[in-house]
Structure 1
Amino acid sequence: MPEGPSVTRRIGAVLRALAGREPAGSTTTGLAALVDLPRPTVHRLLTALEAEGMVERDGATAAWHLGPECFLLGAAATARHDIAPVARSSVLRLADETQESAFFSVRRGEETVCLLREDGSFPIRSHVLHEGIRFPLGVASAGLAILAFLPEGDRSAYLRSLPASTPLPDGHSAAELEARVEETRRRGFAVNPGLIVPGSWGIGAAVFNRQGEPRWALSITGIEQRLAPPRQAELGALLMREAHVLSTRMAGPARG
């Protein structure tokens, strides 16, 4: 297997893409498309990772999954980086009060990663988000809330880099994102009106660290009839209230 930082980046990209496909997993061809690498290259990387226990392949479906070594590494890092317990009470309250699916996400570079999901009691649910899924900043409501409140220089640089650095789905051009950012800043919370899956809406609010930076986000998803106006304002206010509570908690001891 070739050595060098480019290989390290490719391995990281494959593992992150695979994490975003759990629990269903992904085929080699699917992963190659996700990371924009040739299929033979991805196959070689997966074979090497399988030998280390980092990935494993389902014999029945041929789908790749994260392996047991990833679980052990994650468990070892939990004591330093696990912020989910701090956010869990907020996510539970949102799911209980709104009856919708509630989430907690973290910013990682130019992406958001869903860390927690709690389903509410409303029987019709959106399955767009799940724990481990990743989206580029600005795509899901959590990422739009974070993007909107980044320092202006960082936000502008990200928008200028599109789409070359981060190809986004239809409806997410730099101009369209810029308009949604301005609306989010005006309202205080972000709205995704079914742009990922038609009919599945999301509302998100940024959670800030002690330096006042948007590091995390709380969000809810549901069908359009449940998240559209006039209930939207009520839900947005609830999200912002809970995000403020969580931001205060996060301003305690430094977190990863």
Structure 2
Amino acid sequence: MEPGPHLVSRVGALLRSVANHEPTGTTTAGVAHAAGLPRPTVHRLLTSLQAEGLVDRIASSGHWVLGPELFFLGNAAAARYDVTGLARPSVTRLAQATGESAFFSARRGDETICLVREDGSFPIRSFVLYEGVRFPLGVASAGLVILAHLPEHEREAYLARVDLTTAWGPAHGRLPLADRVRATRRTGYAVNPGLVVEGSWGLGAAVFDSTGTPAWALSLTGIESRFTEARRSELGTLLLREAHTLSQRLQRAIH
């Protein structure tokens, strides 16, 4: 019998791994690799989760996907946690005003999760971000701007316990990341100069809850030629203005 808290953390890791591969799903081996757990353990846990409706298995491929019970649980929780309806007008305005792809992301622990995407009119688009994708704090513009606006002790504790270079390369080492954090704090908005996918740039602005904590972010992505220095300043100003408006709206709505 596995200890309760340890088992819960394992189940959480498995569900997040499966969620990261929606809608096509992923294999038992893929989940095991992502969660850092032995394959037999993962298979046993996934089978138990399937019995509860929390995951399902596609017969034709054998891939694991999120189960129907999560849909019902999500609907029950939506009244308390779903802020996408309040954020969507801001995302729409950004996409329409800039022609770029605009996003709303939420912080969840050490990660950001993209909740809303809307594409602008420019025909060449970046698909780095899409609804449901997760990135660690410090990766992509949404995660960078949230990290930069965390209290210093919380930011330093996070950087001390994670190593982003293994998955994201040397540009996400502690020193270059610290430089980008300082630049973000100076301008107020974050810039991702094609560090996740070459040629795909992003800008992000933090959205704050009633305690002044960066709980969400608005961001824009597009091809490098659309993010010249002069235009980055223009886009950053627009993002900061919309993020301030959305912060006020969310603070009024969430008590």
Query: What TM bracket, shorter-length normalisation?
Result: over 0.9
- The answer to whether 1:174 aligns with 2:174 is yes
- CA deviations 1:90-128 (Å, max 9, x no partner) are 011111111111110111111111111111121111111
Q: Match of 2:168, SS?
A: coil
Residue 207 of structure 1 corresponds to which residue in structure 2? 207
- The answer to whether 1:22 aligns with 2:11 is no
Distance between the aligned counterparts of 2:224 and 2:14, measured in 1? 34
- The answer to whether 1:217 aligns with 2:217 is yes
- The answer to whether 1:54 aligns with 2:73 is no
> Structure 1 stretches (4+) deviating beyond 3 angstroms?
none
How many residues are paired up? 254
- Length-normalised TM-score, structure 2: 0.94
Are 1:91 and 1:104, in contact at CA under 8 Å, matched by a contact in 2?
Answer: yes
Higher relative helix content: 2
Are 1:162 and 1:173, in contact at CA under 8 Å, matched by a contact in 2?
Answer: no
Alignment of structure 1 residues 27-176 onto 2, 5 Å: 27-163=27-163, 168-170=167-169, 171-176=171-176
Are 1:136 and 1:168, in contact at CA under 8 Å, matched by a contact in 2?
Answer: no
Are 1:159 and 1:178, in contact at CA under 8 Å, matched by a contact in 2?
Answer: no
Q: Match of 2:92, SS?
A: helix
- Change in Cα spacing, 1:150 to 1:5, as seen in structure 2 (3 Å) is same
- Length-normalised TM-score, structure 1: 0.94
How far apart are 1:3 and its partner, in Å? Answer: 5.3
For structure 1, list consecutive stretches of 5 or more residues without a partner in the other structure. Answer: none
Distance between the aligned counterparts of 2:82 and 2:89, measured in 1? 14
Distance between the aligned counterparts of 1:208 and 1:181, measured in 2? 17
For structure 2, list consecutive stretches of 5 or more residues without a partner in the other structure. Answer: none
Give the residue type in structure 1 aligned to 2:201: W
User: Bigger shift: 152-161 or 136-145?
Assistant: 152-161
How far apart are 1:229 and its partner, in Å? Answer: 2.1
- Change in Cα spacing, 1:167 to 1:71, as seen in structure 2 (3 Å) is farther
Distance between the aligned counterparts of 1:228 and 1:11, measured in 2? 44
Give the residue type in structure 2 aligned to 1:144: L
Distance between the aligned counterparts of 2:139 and 2:70, measured in 1? 27
- CA deviations 1:58-85 (Å, max 9, x no partner) are 1222221101111110001011111111
Give the residue type in structure 1 aligned to 2:70: C
- CA deviations 1:160-211 (Å, max 9, x no partner) are 22329x9651121122211110011111110111111111111100011111
Are 1:190 and 1:203, in contact at CA under 8 Å, matched by a contact in 2?
Answer: yes
Residue 9 of structure 1 corresponds to which residue in structure 2? 9
